[in-house]
Amino acid sequence: MAIAALKGVEEHFKQSNPRTKSAFLDELDSAKKILLDTRPTEPLMRNALRCLVSAVGRSSLEDAVSLLDLVSSASKGFLKELEESEKKIAEIGSRRILDGSTVLTHCHSSLVTRILGEAKNQGKEFQVFCTETRPLFQGRITAQELTSIGLSPIMIVDSAVRFFINGVNLVLIGADAITSEGNVINKIGTSMVALSAREARTPFYVASELLKFDPTTVYGEYTVIEERDGREIWMSPPEGLRLRNPAFDITRREFIHGIICEAGIISPDAVMREAEERYPWLAFDA
């Protein structure tokens, strides 16, 4: 979503013609609001747009052509930073995958897939359990990707996690957002996996770029938990039945063994400090 948002903003300004910096910022603000309304739980996209707003707002440039070049340059810089972060996270995270170990993951995370792929490239042999991840079965994406790189994952239903957890050496999941308290927002069901892992004393790791830190939570805001159409659960339910379909849940920091990020494997309560040190423009209002 962040990549699509950046490309969308660039395309918008190629077609529009704001004559002043003020008009340019107004259009950028409008585009930002439209994009953010499409996905409430998406701090990576929010931070990508924050990066553009910061670059334009702090620039001394005034003409629209130069500002468009600046937006394009800032977009490319953000994406390069993101790719470098993900490469570093894969290298760091792969060291936690030991030869002969068993890993459990929930939902789909390109970072988790990348970590597991890097561990395989190092010649390690290990087993992976993938939850199917109801209601939209994103775990199947993970299973397909792992199969395509030569791993042989085992798929289980979400409710079977506790049955298998005692045979798991570590849990590795991604994140949609990280709050100022170090709590992690991820696909619904993640907190139940974390609870099972804690009961079994199985390390629970989160792989995430620091760019998924949500700076609005510093000022008392809560990350919005998106609730989706109940028809994802049951397309034709009986009349009178109500369906609730939250897309995400919150895993509190005390359940998290460590967050694997571009700064290393850090404690959840260190996320805000590390994020603000690496990306000072995160404090810029967006």
Mapped onto helix, strand or coil, the DSSP state of residue 235 is: coil
State the number of CA atoms in the 13 A half-sphere of 17 facing the CB: 0
Rounded Cα–Cα distance for residues 59 and 36 (Å): 24
Distance of alpha carbon 170 from alpha carbon 272, whole angstroms: 25
State the Cα torsion 113-133-43-213 to the nearest 10°.
Answer: -70
Single out the catalytic residue among 130, 158, 176, 261. Answer: 176
Q: Which residue among 107, 130, 158, 261 is the active-site one?
A: 107
Q: Cβ(153)–Cβ(142) under 8 Å?
A: yes
Based on the residue annotation, tell me whether 107 is a catalytic residue of this protein: yes
C-alpha 129 chain-centroid distance: 20
What single-letter amino acid sits at 169? Answer: N
Which phi and psi (to 5°) does residue 43 adopt? -65, -25
63 is catalytic: no
Cβ atoms of 129 and 142 closer than 8 Å:
no
Nearest CA-CA partner of 19 in 82, 78, 67, 54: 67
Which amino acids are annotated catalytic?
A: 107, 176
